[in-house]
Structure 1
Amino acid sequence: MLPKSPTAELDEAASPPAASSSLGPKPVAKISCLACRAAKRKCLTPDAFTVCKRCTDQGIECEYQKHRRGRRKKNPDNVPATSRSRSRSRSRSPSRHDTSPSRPLVDRGRPERDNSISRSAIRSHSIRFSHVVPVEGDSSPYIPRPTSQPPATGGANLALLRTDCPDPVMSGFLSEADAYELFEFYFHHLNVAVAILDPVLHTATYCRDKSPLLFSAVLTVTAKIIRPEAYPSCLFIANKLVGQAVEFGLCSIEIVQAIIMLTHWKKADDSTSWRKVGYAIRMAQELRLNQRAPRPLPRNERQAREILNKERCWLNLIVADYHLAMHHSLPRMINQDDVDDPMEWITEHPHLPCPGEAVIAPWISFSRLCRLFADMLAGMNGSPSNLRSLHWLEMEYKRWNRRWIEKNSEYGFLQQQVAMVKLCGSLLHFHICEYHLLFTARYRSSGATLDTSEPSPLSYAFAECADVALGLLEIFQTDFVANDYLPFCFNMTWVGVAITSVWLVKNIGAMDKMDRKAVIRKLTEVADSTATASRSSEDMPAYTHRLIKHLLDSVCPEWHLASTKSSAVPAGDGDGGSSTSGPTPGIAIAPPQTWNMPSAQQMIQETLWHPSVFQDIPTLRTPAQHNQCTTGNSAYHPPQPDSIPQPITSDVLFPAADDDIWKLLFPL
């Protein structure tokens, strides 16, 4: 027996009940709701007092109306004009003067305007929209509704993933006792640096039962620090689980959180973070993580924490998107409209604390200012509007500094978070000073020689930039090294240290003797501290140590010797006042040269991406640097990209073995 069409079902519902047979009365005909009738869909409900399944799924109003029984009485006023005209046309012959047969005849007793209104009303009721238009009564599977549910995570595929690729504990690389110890270390040290998980929700047992990928990710990033011998095996399992989650089409918040975690504490030579975070953002948008839940929060603590867990995950994606876009020179994936000020979100639930999440607010505002600086640097053209924009950026930085650094106690920042915020502020301050120095050197110095012994706008801007760069290294030493934060700090730490260290060494020839000594001493301290903090030869402290040692080797030995002597001589004696003395007799001073200041980013990229041949050489000084070292003249002209010989064999910023690592942090 063929199924009845929706039209037949409606006709059956509207037909009068038949006479009762000898077997008993016939059951009452099924009544469909108005929405299902309009869309010609089957109405799945037992009676007219229950909301049907289709209206429940699509979140539309389910309304029933009693059907009219029997035949409708004909009303001449309600009959369309076209029907009346057709009936009259049959009873009389057509007129000779009617030359438009397509135009229907109208009633002479009624105006044609009423006839057009009736036709338009009929046409409006017959309109049916496509599936992408969110009209009530029509199916719209591709338009998300506020009440739509996120896609299912797929229980069968999850079970298959568990059997195909066990976690590190099931594989035997870690014991259960090790797993609990790693989870405790993670929440005490790593999660307070980047608050991704909720310590109340994400216990070791919960993560292992809920998501083997998230469980393995926590063990992997923590084993990198305190179980380095098990880190390669754990990383292999975590990456395999990520690949299988993509293969099986799994979609859950735990997968998004695991990708964020593996990105922030990734292996130094991992170049897949941009693609993985992009996949995580798409998955989060499919899960509706970018939609804020209605307020107030539920009174049940667990339900409230689950809502905050989703919103916190989206804020972490915003931070990761900003971070990767800046350091990979690629566009952002999250629109500006999706980024709100998270400070209100952080202060609205003090009764549901998550240690570390307060630092998300200054990170997002800091990333916005850095993106603004990058746009300003690309648009520098010497116009006075450049300095006005720089002044506005400097005022915004001062507001940011007062709010998040000077008043950090109001937000309950932990010591590790204070250190990270201070370093971010110092890096932004360095970029502002560097912009001012670059603008002055290009457009305001008129080709004048930089002489740090003479007061001038150029020498003042140069000295300020050098002081801020040294200040960032001082924060690195006092706030990170002294508190043992280097093994698990944010990647921004290494970026800031590399930028300022390269800038200081490339411009050390233009400094006076006292500044040279300060730079060499500070870089020597950084090299020693990074060597101590290194857990293996392939972590970021080890790479940074080799970078700083490589930079120090490019400085002439005489300056090294002078800085060593000055450390043993009291202030005011020996070389302390030699910066104001004249040149040494018998040594010729090189003629003054024009100093054209490139930006730190240009310095790094031009040399890093230059098609050079790396060779092992005893010294890494150019002839100009060697002459400057022997003469001690403070007027220095660093080699420009156009004047660098091919290939470079004596002016390489990064060690040849680590060149690929720094390309990930300073792409072209």
Structure 2
Amino acid sequence: MSAVPTHAHSYSKISCLACRAAKRKCLTPDAFTVCKRCADQGLECEYKKHRRGRRKKVAEDASVRSRSRSGSARSRSPEDRDARDGLGRVDRERDRSHDRIHDRDRDRDRDNKSHPSTEPRARHAIQFSHVVPIEGDSSPYLPRPGVPPEPTSGPSLAHLRTDCPDPVTNGFLTEADAYEMFEFYFHHLNVTVAILDPVLHTATYCREKSPLLYSAVLTVTAKIIRPKAYSKCLLISNKLVGQAVEFGLCSVEVVQAILVLTHWKKADDATSWRKTGYAIRMAQELRLNLRAARPLPRNERQAREVLNRERCWLNYHLSMHHSLPRMINEDDADYLVEWISEHPHLPCPGEIVIAPWIQFSRMCRLFADMLAGMNGNHSNLRSLHWLEMEWKRWRKHWLEKNNEYNFLAQHIATLKLCDSLLHFHICEYRLLFCARYRSNGEPLDTSQPSELSYAFANCADVALALLEVFQTEFVRNGFLPFCFNLTWVGTAITSVWLIKNIGAMDHTDRGRVIRTLTECSESTADSSCSSDDMASYTHRLLKHLLGSLSPDYLLSATAPPTGLGPPPAAVDLPPGPPQPPVWTMPSAQQIIQEHLWHPSVFDAPQPQLTPGSSGPGPGITPVPANAQGSIMPDGVPGQIPTDVLFPAADDDIWKLLFPL
């Protein structure tokens, strides 16, 4: 039997140089094929025969030749044997010389390694620990883009189905209700904030794939069209979320369910920010923050599953209404426009608005940093000018060219509100800078032209413009029950600012403010589905703000505008209130935060309130209600008490929206 291995078997035992250096298993059928590791990591796959065993092969050949010679010598004559013995000595001397040459070559190679300066250096790959990311190699801390995550081992979803059934199984809703509510969700809620794919996430698919996601969709929809079942559905969803955390479930559906419950949460839910942080960690574990390799798969379902993961991660950039720290890097979503335009053949209604929302969120974050760093230097205004230019580019691209992106009415309404809110912040910044560093302590006089009065009037106009967007775009179109939470935040900011500064306005602007806030108060009352939704809370806030005004302001708001005739004879308008000696302008965010935390109202006996009133702010002595049922605190006419900005019963709600 030959000692030389077969051709196929010999190549199966040879590893490439890269795998040999890394001491990894080289998976390849032969030496003419690139191995799997080099193909995956883009390494140069080079083969070279092993040098070990060469001396043994020479020795074996020599012994074979000597045995053959000795065998033939025994069969020959003595003369031939003597001749052959001479030749054998020559062959043995030649074999010994070959062995000495081989030993000398081996010693020279060893000396070259010991003294690299005398001979050409051998090239070796540097090896690192698994913590150091190597280009072209994998690392458990820095996974390669486009690589799907390892399947997460954990308990089965059957735990959730057994321990806590969905709302349909519990009998709170029928299966016909569930299909109807899924259709309503995708036509109204998911269009507003695109989280799920209507092709993938059917009612049947969600119920089989994730009872938590199935229950979450039913819960947020029941809040609008089945308010009587909302509390029971919310209880089921919260239990399923708790069990998912307890059992350590980690899936895209769990992340999406928490996202759905967060965007359309209960108004007094104080856990949404913490749940969102848990979901973000879960999404990072699932590597949703990594963009998959392009191009997308040709199979439509596979392509939609890829986009479903990426869309889920992009939605976590939309937590713009929290002034709390973020867990997401702002720089990992620079491909938004490209991402939206790359798959027109795989539409998901509503995802088009994600790009302008995230860009708006970044500008708001920049404004907050600028506001914190204001020091009176001229560079503050240069930074403000840069932000203003960015805002105008944003508005031109997304609002003035909205036909190019086929925005729906819900999207246009939300973008207009974002536009008005950022415009208000820019005007407020300029007003704050002027009041602090350029007015020289002079009081505000809106009857005299000045830089301060111009900035104030401009800020008031923009605040009223935001409330007009609230009325025309959201109220009239019926978007309030499922609108984005930023709608309520923007309305609260501008409403508080207008009431806080109404004493510095002239007669015309004062009437505009009172009429606009009255319309908004009535609209939110009509749009409310229950006593604890955001429309109801906003209604009570606006009613409370209007109730804190003096009768002088309320009567002046009913008078006709200047130039349209004299006021009615029965109305005797009192003289206007005196202006404060010195007017200062804090930011709207500061106004809200400063007056959220009141002294505990439970320290003193509770006063008796008139029916229908929200109650005075803590620390204010109540007085009898006027004819309109408003509680009027004692004080100088025209002066807004600083501790009645929010109804006492609703303080906790606004703390959630404006945390310190």
TM range (shorter): 0.7 to 0.9
Question: Is 2:104 aligned against 1:76?
Answer: yes
Task: Please tell me the residue identity of whatever aligns with 1:378.
Answer: A
Match of 1:652 in 2: 644
Mapping for residues 154-173 of structure 1, pairs under 5 Å: 154=153, 156-173=155-172
Instruction: Please list the CA deviations of residues 310-341 of structure 1 after superposition, one character each: whole Å capped at 9, or x if unmatched.
Output: 22112112223xx1xxx432222222331214
Task: Please tell me the residue identity of whatever aligns with 2:475.
Answer: V
Mapping for residues 99-114 of structure 1, pairs under 5 Å: 113-114=117-118
Q: The residue matched to 1:191 in structure 2 has which SS? A: helix
| TM-fit CA distance, 1:138 | 8.6
The answer on whether the counterparts of 1:251 and 1:283 sit within 8 Å (CA) in structure 2 is: yes
Match of 1:605 in 2: 593
| TM-fit CA distance, 1:55 | 7.5
Instruction: Please list the CA deviations of residues 257-312 of structure 1 after superposition, one character each: whole Å capped at 9, or x if unmatched.
Output: 11111111111111222222222222222222222223332332222222221221
User: Using a 3 Å threshold, how does the CA distance of structure 1 residues 65 and 399 change in structure 2: closer, same or farther?
Assistant: same
Mapping for residues 478-627 of structure 1, pairs under 5 Å: 478-566=472-560, 572-575=564-567, 590=578, 593-611=581-599, 613=601, 614=618, 617-618=622-623, 625-626=636-637
The answer on whether the counterparts of 2:525 and 2:536 sit within 8 Å (CA) in structure 1 is: yes
| TM-fit CA distance, 1:189 | 0.3
Instruction: Please list the CA deviations of residues 5-37 of structure 1 after superposition, one character each: whole Å capped at 9, or x if unmatched.
Output: xxxxxxxxxxx97699xxxxxx98962633655
Task: Please tell me the residue identity of whatever aligns with 2:315.
Answer: N
Match of 2:223 in 1: 224
Match of 1:3 in 2: none
The separation in 1 between residues aligned to 2:519 and 2:52, in whole angstroms, is: 94
Match of 1:337 in 2: 331
Task: Please tell me the residue identity of whatever aligns with 2:648.
Answer: A
User: Using a 3 Å threshold, how does the CA distance of structure 1 residues 64 and 625 change in structure 2: closer, same or farther?
Assistant: farther
Task: Please tell me the residue identity of whatever aligns with 2:175.
Answer: E
Match of 1:436 in 2: 430
The separation in 2 between residues aligned to 1:50 and 1:84, in whole angstroms, is: 32
The answer on whether the counterparts of 2:145 and 2:291 sit within 8 Å (CA) in structure 1 is: no
The separation in 2 between residues aligned to 1:36 and 1:388, in whole angstroms, is: 57
The separation in 2 between residues aligned to 1:131 and 1:222, in whole angstroms, is: 47
Instruction: Please list the CA deviations of residues 166-221 of structure 1 after superposition, one character each: whole Å capped at 9, or x if unmatched.
Output: 22112221111111011000000001100111111111111111111111111111
Taking structure 2 as the reference length, what is the TM-score of the superposition? Answer: 0.81
Q: How many residues align?
A: 587
Task: Please tell me the residue identity of whatever aligns with 2:213.
Answer: L
| TM-fit CA distance, 1:593 | 0.7
Question: Is 2:399 aligned against 1:405?
Answer: yes
Question: Is 2:20 aligned against 1:33?
Answer: no
The answer on whether the counterparts of 1:214 and 1:258 sit within 8 Å (CA) in structure 2 is: yes
The answer on whether the counterparts of 1:369 and 1:393 sit within 8 Å (CA) in structure 2 is: yes
| TM-fit CA distance, 1:151 | 2.8
The separation in 2 between residues aligned to 1:138 and 1:386, in whole angstroms, is: 46
| TM-fit CA distance, 1:488 | 0.5
Q: The residue matched to 2:207 in structure 1 has which SS? A: helix
Task: Please tell me the residue identity of whatever aligns with 2:535.
Answer: P
Question: Is 2:649 aligned against 1:667?
Answer: no
User: Using a 3 Å threshold, how does the CA distance of structure 1 residues 83 and 589 change in structure 2: closer, same or farther?
Assistant: closer
The separation in 1 between residues aligned to 2:446 and 2:235, in whole angstroms, is: 53
User: Using a 3 Å threshold, how does the CA distance of structure 1 residues 286 and 588 change in structure 2: closer, same or farther?
Assistant: closer
The answer on whether the counterparts of 1:228 and 1:535 sit within 8 Å (CA) in structure 2 is: yes
Which ranges of structure 2 fall in alignment gaps of 5 or more residues?
Answer: 56-98, 602-617, 624-629
Q: The residue matched to 1:328 in structure 2 has which SS? A: coil
The separation in 2 between residues aligned to 1:530 and 1:113, in whole angstroms, is: 85
The separation in 2 between residues aligned to 1:244 and 1:230, in whole angstroms, is: 21
The separation in 2 between residues aligned to 1:46 and 1:295, in whole angstroms, is: 30
Task: Please tell me the residue identity of whatever aligns with 2:54.
Answer: R
User: Using a 3 Å threshold, how does the CA distance of structure 1 residues 198 and 29 change in structure 2: closer, same or farther?
Assistant: closer
Taking structure 1 as the reference length, what is the TM-score of the superposition? Answer: 0.80
Comparing 337-346 with 587-596, greater Cα deviation is found at: 587-596
The separation in 1 between residues aligned to 2:333 and 2:392, in whole angstroms, is: 22
| TM-fit CA distance, 1:422 | 0.3
Question: Is 2:245 aligned against 1:251?
Answer: no
Task: Please tell me the residue identity of whatever aligns with 1:654.
Answer: F
Q: The residue matched to 1:336 in structure 2 has which SS? A: coil
Match of 2:173 in 1: 174
Match of 1:477 in 2: 471
| TM-fit CA distance, 1:416 | 1.0
The answer on whether the counterparts of 2:549 and 2:632 sit within 8 Å (CA) in structure 1 is: yes
The separation in 1 between residues aligned to 2:410 and 2:135, in whole angstroms, is: 52
User: Using a 3 Å threshold, how does the CA distance of structure 1 residues 181 and 65 change in structure 2: closer, same or farther?
Assistant: farther
| TM-fit CA distance, 1:624 | 5.6
Instruction: Please report the RMSD computed on the Cα atoms of aligned residues, expressed in angstroms.
Output: 3.4
The separation in 1 between residues aligned to 2:251 and 2:42, in whole angstroms, is: 23
The answer on whether the counterparts of 2:42 and 2:136 sit within 8 Å (CA) in structure 1 is: no
The separation in 2 between residues aligned to 1:244 and 1:55, in whole angstroms, is: 43
| TM-fit CA distance, 1:495 | 0.2
Instruction: Please list the CA deviations of residues 28-54 of structure 1 after superposition, one character each: whole Å capped at 9, or x if unmatched.
Output: 896263365544456678887998887
Q: The residue matched to 2:654 in structure 1 has which SS? A: helix
Task: Please tell me the residue identity of whatever aligns with 1:438.
Answer: L
The separation in 2 between residues aligned to 1:303 and 1:42, in whole angstroms, is: 32
| TM-fit CA distance, 1:461 | 1.1
Match of 1:635 in 2: none
Task: Please tell me the residue identity of whatever aligns with 2:565.
Answer: D
The answer on whether the counterparts of 1:131 and 1:141 sit within 8 Å (CA) in structure 2 is: yes
Instruction: Please list the CA deviations of residues 392-443 of structure 1 after superposition, one character each: whole Å capped at 9, or x if unmatched.
Output: 2112212212221222111100011110100110011111111111111111
Instruction: Please list the CA deviations of residues 49-98 of structure 1 after superposition, one character each: whole Å capped at 9, or x if unmatched.
Output: 9988878998878776655684336252452576699xxxxxxxxxxxxx
Q: The residue matched to 1:555 in structure 2 has which SS? A: coil
Q: The residue matched to 1:280 in structure 2 has which SS? A: helix
The separation in 2 between residues aligned to 1:622 and 1:447, in whole angstroms, is: 29
Comparing 546-555 with 439-448, greater Cα deviation is found at: 439-448
Match of 2:377 in 1: 383
**Structure index of larger Rg:** 2
The separation in 1 between residues aligned to 2:205 and 2:648, in whole angstroms, is: 45
Q: The residue matched to 1:157 in structure 2 has which SS? A: coil
Instruction: Please list the CA deviations of residues 336-389 of structure 1 after superposition, one character each: whole Å capped at 9, or x if unmatched.
Output: 331214112212222221111111111011111111111111111111111111
Mapping for residues 269-308 of structure 1, pairs under 5 Å: 269-308=268-307
User: Using a 3 Å threshold, how does the CA distance of structure 1 residues 393 and 492 change in structure 2: closer, same or farther?
Assistant: same
User: Using a 3 Å threshold, how does the CA distance of structure 1 residues 510 and 484 change in structure 2: closer, same or farther?
Assistant: same
| TM-fit CA distance, 1:623 | 6.0
The separation in 1 between residues aligned to 2:440 and 2:296, in whole angstroms, is: 62
The answer on whether the counterparts of 1:151 and 1:251 sit within 8 Å (CA) in structure 2 is: no
The separation in 2 between residues aligned to 1:543 and 1:535, in whole angstroms, is: 11
Match of 1:358 in 2: 352
Task: Please tell me the residue identity of whatever aligns with 2:564.
Answer: G
Which ranges of structure 1 fall in alignment gaps of 5 or more residues?
Answer: 1-15, 21-26, 86-103, 107-111, 630-637, 640-649
The separation in 2 between residues aligned to 1:514 and 1:19, in whole angstroms, is: 105
| TM-fit CA distance, 1:156 | 4.4
Match of 1:7 in 2: none
Q: The residue matched to 1:219 in structure 2 has which SS? A: helix
Match of 1:367 in 2: 361
User: Using a 3 Å threshold, how does the CA distance of structure 1 residues 423 and 140 change in structure 2: closer, same or farther?
Assistant: closer
The answer on whether the counterparts of 1:341 and 1:361 sit within 8 Å (CA) in structure 2 is: no
Comparing 473-482 with 601-610, greater Cα deviation is found at: 601-610
The separation in 2 between residues aligned to 1:75 and 1:462, in whole angstroms, is: 95
The answer on whether the counterparts of 1:129 and 1:138 sit within 8 Å (CA) in structure 2 is: no
Q: The residue matched to 1:79 in structure 2 has which SS? A: helix
User: Using a 3 Å threshold, how does the CA distance of structure 1 residues 666 and 293 change in structure 2: closer, same or farther?
Assistant: same
The separation in 2 between residues aligned to 1:351 and 1:47, in whole angstroms, is: 43
Q: The residue matched to 1:406 in structure 2 has which SS? A: coil
Match of 1:346 in 2: 340
The answer on whether the counterparts of 1:426 and 1:468 sit within 8 Å (CA) in structure 2 is: yes
The answer on whether the counterparts of 1:31 and 1:48 sit within 8 Å (CA) in structure 2 is: no
